[in-house]
Amino acid sequence: MRVLIIGVGTRGDVAPYTGLGVRLRQSGHEVAIAAHEPYAELVTDAGLEHLPLPGDPLPALTGRFSLSAFKEYSEQLMAGLAEIAEQEADLLLLGVAGALGSHVAEAMGVPSMGVHLQPIDPTGDFPPVMSLFRRSLGRWGNRRAARLAFELPAAGPLLAGMSTKMRARLGLPPVTPRDLYRRRESTRWPVFHGVSPLVPPRPADWRPGLEITGYWWPLRPRDWRPEPVLCDFLTSGPTPIFVGFGSLAGTRAEQYTELAAHALRGAGLRGVLQTGLRGGISDDVLAVGDVPHDWLFPRMAAVAHHCGGGTTGAGVRAGVPAVAVPVMNDQPLWASRLMTLGVAPAAIPFRRLTPERLATALTTAVTDPAYLHRAQALSARISAEDGAAPVIEAVNQLQVTRGPGRRPA
């Protein structure tokens, strides 16, 4: 089958799909990933076909989009997705941010499945993860708030407007958000979540068809080798700490680098920083660019990060303690899970982050052996999971049902 994965988002939203895509290709399927241009190399390095999407959502996530700029980005995204509708495909796999892809699949006349990196479906277990809610609203309130996010245009007028425009562009009849959600639920539209069920257990109140499979590990770039300066730093003293803030770091690189370096000095620790700068900050602090987390994290004494889904997964896989510094969206959920699992001390919301608070948390994480013991035990169990296998099984079953290699007329 020809499988198209819609990977709208930044690096952390695209990278897991490269791992999933490679596994699908190894199972005999032809795989392409639609992603924004800045992340094309992630796809092509994995040996997969890249379908370009115009624009870059990073400014929106870092608060650098005006309303007019967001509308321009939306138009670019819809135009790119409309071009994908002209592709040949047997199946579309859609991430959370690629929800508009469901209209594309409908226009193409092919089935779709969800491949989510965040658990957005209604549950009483936690508040909606892609919203402003940070505290539980109670079981009924959590479920109701998440459902309203699906059903009401008022819950997201810009996104609802995009859906309406997208359907019109594709020549599809108008449908209300409530009807789209009811269609989704009545057909038990399948959604696979690329995270470990040991991190967020599958909510008992979820309907059939919503599954948590295990992580889809990103592929390490072909021919990647660590720079000699990094290897030298790792062997020149005590095991360092990793500090990184994901895509947010590049917006205020100097500020975040200074904060992290100050915290490490206060705690008397060495550190590897991924905060937007590169080079030696001091004898005990090295700033690096892109370094695969699956290589770097096992060589750290602890990892302090923003709790993006992929970074969280890499941390628990590495078996080292964490320090959670959540910023937005789904990150508070992952931070709370790290604390509940006992692999991280109390989280520090990013807006309250200071060098002193970070230094205290880092010291706690590396001096209390219980965090390391629990992290190692969790790592052993997560490393044994095969998160791609259930997705491959579902795709193979669909191929049996529909016939091999069938294309829309």
pLDDT digit string (tens) for the chain, length 409 residues: 999 999 998 888 899 999 999 999 999 999 999 999 989 999 999 999 999 999 877 776 655 556 777 778 888 889 999 999 998 999 999 998 888 899 999 999 999 999 999 999 999 999 888 766 667 889 999 899 888 888 775 444 446 578 888 999 999 999 888 898 899 999 999 999 999 999 999 999 999 999 999 999 998 888 889 999 999 999 999 999 999 988 766 667 888 899 999 999 999 999 999 988 888 889 999 999 989 999 999 999 999 999 999 999 999 999 999 999 998 888 999 999 999 999 999 999 988 999 999 999 999 999 999 999 999 999 999 999 999 999 999 999 988 777 655 444 3
On the 0-12 / 13-18 / 19+ scale of CB atoms within 10 A, 35 is: buried
What pTM, to 2 d.p., does this model score?
A: 0.92
Tell me what pLDDT residue 73 has. 83
CA 385 to chain centre: 18
Q: How far is CA 276 from the centre of its chain?
A: 19
Nearest to 9 by CA among 215, 288, 310: 310
How many CB atoms sit inside 10 A of residue 254's CB? 10
* SS3 assignment, position 133: coil
Q: What is the DSSP letter of 30?
A: E
> Domains in the chain, start-ordered, CATH in brackets?
2-117+152-216+387-402 (3.40.50.2000), 228-383 (3.40.50.2000)
To 10 degrees, the CA torsion angle through 179, 180, 181, 187?
100
Residues 345 and 335: beta-carbon distance below 8 Å: no
What is the bridge-based pairing of β-strands 285-287 and 279-282?
Answer: antiparallel
CB-CB contact of 60 with 73 (8 Å)? yes
In the block, which residue shows the tokens 């699906």? 150
